[in-house]
Amino acid sequence: MLSRKKNNNVIYELLSSPRKRLSHFRDVPANKQGFILLSLSKKLQIEVMHALKITEVVRLIEYLDPDEATDLLQSLSAARRKRILKRLSKSIKEKVEFLLRFDPRTAAGLMSLDYIEVSQHINFEHLSRIVRKHEQKGGKIPTILIVEDGFLLGELPLYSLALARRNERIRNYIEKVPSIRYDVDETEVISLFRKHPHNKVVVLDEDNSIMGIIYSDDVLKLIEKRSATHLRDFAGIRQEEDVLDSALMKVKYRYKWLIINLATAFLAASVVSLFQKTISSFVLLAVYMPIVAGMGGNAGTQTLAVMVRGMTLKEINRKTARKVILNEVIAGGTNGLINGILVAAVAVLWNKNPLLGLIIGMAMIINLVIAGFFGAVTPLIMRKFGKDPASSATIFITTATDVFGFFVFLGLATIML
């Protein structure tokens, strides 16, 4: 594989030179091209693979593991994928075709076929020959799974190959290994790895026969990909947008969410306009308005982040949702009390106006309660309507905290000042 520095240089050239992208890629040795492709965004992977000749794609795929080759082929059209599969060597073709049968968002879609199955009754001398044969064929030392009548008993740790005697039976070294059904969603796979940290999970078929292995490295890549996706969604940026897209393309991807933002900003402004007389009479209120709105928006976004993470890990369901919402509201009220006291003290000491301090303090408490409520409820509502819970929910949360925050603050000021 390329050194990290050379790898980064190649990736930089591919990103920064759209016109010369293909020529830069072809300058990379064929045995390293696949690894470069896997480091690029999905959009660039598709662009490069569609630009290459079929023979070039076949050559670079032959150097990849079947699960890595499958990841690349899944992004291509069915017709182009079929043409590539026809030209692959028999050994990799059979494995890739097998992996392509499964939904990439399930456990089977994440699994690797880099393992061997052996009986618990063989000795280490026999096992060494099996492992050596697999390594010569695939270039890697496989995970060793112990089976009895086709059913998983556990795994054999690789260190036992060095510690045990050659004529010793391997059954004395078997260790438990977690397993998961092939059709479970990738979210459950992530949840399993997070709750029970380990470096692999065995994927089982409906009849509990072994189908493959999911390694922690693949799960970490999935978590990174999903985190990046959620980050784009929070910002209202389309997944298809690339960092080096033209200005026109960036406008195309973003303008709709910005128009929605503009509409919600007018909604908040209309609330402020209801209290023009109050603001003109007490101009000092304008100084504190951004504080109330800003704190509410930040608190709501914090709650949203926690909710999205909980929903991703399936920790939030019908039974727990009510308790989660209540806890977020209580937490919002408590944080509102703490920050309300602080901002009230500033108003009293700086502006010499205890009544203003009381109003801003009360408004802070109420707005952070509102932030906790809407920050918890909004992603749940979006999921109920089949929308991505992280998809620009901040727009609706900040709208709620701005509208209600201004209304409460200026309403209290109108009544009390």
Is 160 in contact with 173 (CB distance < 8 Å)?
A: yes
DSSP helix/strand/coil, 268: helix
Q: CA-to-CA distance for 21 and 203, rounded, in angstroms?
A: 38
Largest alpha-carbon pair distance within the chain?
94
The predicted pLDDT at position 237 comes to 47
Q: Please indicate, yes or no, if residue 171 is contained in any of the structural domains.
A: yes
Rounded to whole angstroms, how far apart are CA atoms 108 and 110?
A: 5
Same domain, 251 and 364: yes
Same domain for 121 and 83: no
pLDDT at 5 (0 to 100): 52
Domain membership of residue 32 as a residue range: 4-101
Residue with tokens 């399930």: 106
Residue type, 385: F
Instruction: Give the DSSP letter of residue 141.
Output: P
* 177 burial via Cβ count (<10 Å: 0-12, 13-18, 19+): buried
* Count of domains for the chain: 3
C-beta of residue 194 within 8 angstroms of C-beta of residue 222: no
In tens, the pLDDT along 339-398 reads 999 999 998 998 888 999 999 999 999 999 999 999 999 888 887 877 666 656 778 888
Dist. CA 269–CA 292, nearest whole Å: 14
Do residues 16 and 133 both lie within one domain? no
- φ, ψ at 204 (rounded to 5°): -115, 150
Does residue 264 share a domain with residue 153?
no
Place of tokens 């670079």: 60
Quick one: DSSP state of residue 157? -
Residue 126 lies in a domain: yes
Q: How far apart are CA 154 and CA 172, in angstroms?
A: 11
Please check whether residues 204 and 314 belong to one and the same domain. Answer: no
Query: Is 167 part of any domain?
Result: yes
Say whether both 206 and 274 belong to one domain.
no
Residues 203 and 311 placed together within one structural domain of the fold: no
Specify the DSSP element, H or E, that contains 49.
helix 42-51
CATH number of the domain that residue 335 is part of:
1.10.357.20
What global pTM score does this model have?
0.55
Q: What is the CATH number of the domain that holds 169?
A: 3.10.580.10
Task: Please report the pLDDT score of residue 149 as a whole number.
Answer: 85
Strand partners, 203: 180, 212
Half-sphere exposure (CA, 13 Å, Cβ side) for 117? 14
Which tokens is 393 given?
């929910």
> How high is the pLDDT of residue 122?
92
Co-location of 271 and 404 in the same domain: yes
Point out the residues of the chain with pLDDT beneath 70.
1-18, 138, 224-246, 249, 312-314, 387-392
297's CB contacts (< 8 A; 6+ apart) are 371, 394, 397, 398, 401, 402
Q: Is 242 part of a structural domain of the chain?
A: no
Same domain, 197 and 269: no
Angle 97-103-105 (CA atoms, 0-180°, nearest 5)? 130
**Rounded distance between C-alpha atoms, residue 21 and residue 9, angstroms:** 13
Residue 1 is predicted with a pLDDT of: 45
Confidence at residue 31, expressed as pLDDT on a 0 to 100 scale:
87
**97 and 118 co-located in one domain:** no
Residue 232 inside a domain? The answer is: no
- Tell which of 66, 101, 136 closes a domain: 101
- Residue 305 sits in the same domain as residue 393: yes
pLDDT of residue 160: 87
User: What are the tens digits of pLDDT across the range 19-65?
Assistant: 777 888 888 888 888 888 887 777 788 888 888 999 999 999 988 88
For position 37, which CATH number holds?
A: 1.25.60.10
How far apart CA 249 and CA 242 sit, in angstroms, is 9
Residues 67 and 416: their CA atoms lie apart, in Å, by: 67
